[in-house]
Chains A and B, each alone.
Chain A
């Protein structure tokens, strides 16, 4: 409530919208469990821990009134947030870690581009500048300080083997074309790039001229990544507000998070 006028304030109107269903909440988060796939790297390199969980007690001799668990996983597990410090290109930037990023940056609008048909036809599909411009011609431009989310329906692949889609020459998963990321930064000033695969970059990105261009350019420009999303099919092309707050890990390079989208329903009248 506005303290001077007595009218309902913005937050009260937001809550009213949520309760009335005018604003829909879409959970963009996959459930974490022991089958949650993590990035596959050559075995001689450092490896991320998979999600593991051990029961502390379940109303038993270990704790008669209590059910709780210990869990462990890498910072980049499941639906997660990539902070700029994750990549060497972003290591010297200010406020580049999960504990120092200004919290206001965890709220941003999102543009959602549907590449599900392309990814179904070609698992190595790369989203290009041309394609985004074509999309903008229909839906309007990506506003500044907005996420670009690449919908591929890849999250429907619930079998870890199909999700990671490893071949003889590495992973075959969709992602952004190397030219797209610099353009998104300089021409559209996005806050970050989100996708449904295990990482924001395509499976074959290690072989690009600049390997892992989404990581390299986004983090090198103090922007973020949001891989492992799901339910992007429930989002409109424009008009989504994302809430993407990672855990406040000191010097954290990222963290699993509960990614939530607020979507304003079109009024019936």
Chain B
């Protein structure tokens, strides 16, 4: 696995598909702190609150002053390669398939010396940029890439991101502005083909109309409330989908007491929760089986959630609750898809500037912005992507004091 990956090719049907295996998995409880940072794309390390010492790998006590108060802080991501080595033999199945593999010791600008995966061009003495990534097992690792001119085609880095280039993408709902911009953003990122779903064909959608006939795009009927429809589409294109983006959404006002309507709440659950479940049930197994199907194998399942899936906004109370149900389901899917090295990416977006958020005060998100952020996040290998001021604030306040935000959140 040296040199850049070539262009995607059609599959040789006489060849046994490579079974997915994942890198070694066990990590300490402290080390999972790195996963949280990697998930959000931060380069943050444990720092001692008392003496400021920066640690890697994570530990329970400060190695310098033995204080127990270590906190995660964003640190400088530069460094210099102190030593490099090329692994040519490994007993671990995952690395065995991907040999030779370059590792090195990097003296980080933040302090500690860090054993990191080295991308092409990271020779001894070179300045590098460090990043926390999640490997195919979902565990945090440090990777170093050249400070300048890092290649998107580096096979070792591609293992740690969800690069759409050369891959085939299913955007579940192509009838909305967000759906259309997602398709466009994936094409711009180099996706090989984009499938866009649509439900209720009699609802004439200008966004879907713009996608029809577009080169590299094909549209298919897909109603996530219809088990039969999901099964049929999975039978048709399931073994081609390498990135699936579930952007189906049903936004309605109402809470548990005010404006309660069981027809609406059922529809919310049918679309957000059961819809995701139907997609998981029919597209998940084949995607999991294709996690190692060449350099362009199945890689990521993306869920577009509302930021209110994280904390209930009572004015959209039942909507928020159904989003939370789907969020919980995504964690189940993450565990189940992990066996194939396929990773679940959750996007948390604030309210979109669309017809269902007319009375929501700004800031509201341009669907094009959201789409660009999603694709950029996949290119970087993020697992949790908060888009926009509302989502970022919710994530921040939840970490700070969940009771505070629970009591004060309103539109």
* Shortest Cβ distance from residue A27 to the other chain B in the assembled complex, whole angstroms: 23
Contact with A along B221-235 (1 / 0, CB 8 A): 001011111000000
Q: Complex Cα distance A46/B267, Å?
A: 11
Please give 13 more A-B residue pairs, beta carbons under 8 A apart, in addition to A34-B228, A52-B225.
A33-B228, A34-B223, A37-B202, A40-B203, A49-B263, A50-B226, A52-B226, A53-B227, A53-B228, A54-B227, A160-B201, A161-B201, A164-B202
Identity of the chain B residue whose Cβ is nearest the Cβ of A74 in the assembled complex: B263
**B16 close to A (CB within 8 Å):** no
**Given A46-B263, A49-B263, residue A34 in contact with residue B226 (CB < 8 A):** yes
**A249 close to B (CB within 8 Å):** no
* Shortest Cβ distance from residue A68 to the other chain B in the assembled complex, whole angstroms: 15
Number of A positions contacting B (CB below 8 A): 15
Contact with A along B211-225 (1 / 0, CB 8 A): 000000000000101
Residues of B within 8 A of A164 (CB): 202
Contact with A along B258-273 (1 / 0, CB 8 A): 0001010011000000
Residues of A within 8 A of B263 (CB): 46-47, 49
**A88 close to B (CB within 8 Å):** no
**Given A46-B261, A47-B267, A49-B263, residue A160 in contact with residue B202 (CB < 8 A):** yes
Other-chain residue from A34, A50, A54, A166 in contact with B203 (beta carbon distance below 8 A):
A166
* Shortest Cβ distance from residue A14 to the other chain B in the assembled complex, whole angstroms: 39
Cβ-defined contact, A40 with B202, below 8 A: yes
* Shortest Cβ distance from residue B260 to the other chain A in the assembled complex, whole angstroms: 13
Residues of A within 8 A of B226 (CB): 34, 50, 52
Cβ-defined contact, B229 with A34, below 8 A: yes
* Shortest Cβ distance from residue B194 to the other chain A in the assembled complex, whole angstroms: 23
Residues of A within 8 A of B227 (CB): 52-54
Residues of B within 8 A of A49 (CB): 263, 266
Q: Complex Cα distance A13/B56, Å?
A: 94
Residues of B within 8 A of A47 (CB): 263, 267
**B15 close to A (CB within 8 Å):** no
**B204 close to A (CB within 8 Å):** yes
Q: Which residues of chain A (158-173) have a CB below 8 Å from chain B? A: 160-161, 164, 166
Residues of B within 8 A of A40 (CB): 202-203
Residues of A within 8 A of B225 (CB): 50, 52
Residues of B within 8 A of A160 (CB): 201-202
Q: Complex Cα distance A47/B263, Å?
A: 8
* Shortest Cβ distance from residue A48 to the other chain B in the assembled complex, whole angstroms: 9
Q: Complex Cα distance A34/B229, Å?
A: 8
Contact with B along A33-47 (1 / 0, CB 8 A): 110010010000011
* Shortest Cβ distance from residue A49 to the other chain B in the assembled complex, whole angstroms: 7
Q: Complex Cα distance A34/B226, Å?
A: 7
Residues of A within 8 A of B201 (CB): 160-161
Identity of the chain A residue whose Cβ is nearest the Cβ of B261 in the assembled complex: A46
A-B contact pairs, 19 of them (CB 8 A): A33-B228, A34-B223, A34-B226, A34-B228, A34-B229, A46-B261, A47-B263, A47-B267, A49-B266, A50-B226, A52-B227, A53-B227, A53-B228, A54-B227, A160-B201, A160-B202, A161-B202, A164-B202, A166-B202
Q: Complex Cα distance A244/B352, Å?
A: 48
* Shortest Cβ distance from residue A168 to the other chain B in the assembled complex, whole angstroms: 8
* Shortest Cβ distance from residue A37 to the other chain B in the assembled complex, whole angstroms: 7
Q: Complex Cα distance A168/B258, Å?
A: 33
Residues of B within 8 A of A161 (CB): 201-202
Identity of the chain A residue whose Cβ is nearest the Cβ of B252 in the assembled complex: A44
Q: Complex Cα distance A50/B270, Å?
A: 12
Residues of A within 8 A of B203 (CB): 40, 166
Identity of the chain A residue whose Cβ is nearest the Cβ of B201 in the assembled complex: A161
Q: Complex Cα distance A44/B226, Å?
A: 21
Q: Complex Cα distance A217/B202, Å?
A: 29
Residues of B within 8 A of A46 (CB): 261, 263
* Shortest Cβ distance from residue A267 to the other chain B in the assembled complex, whole angstroms: 46
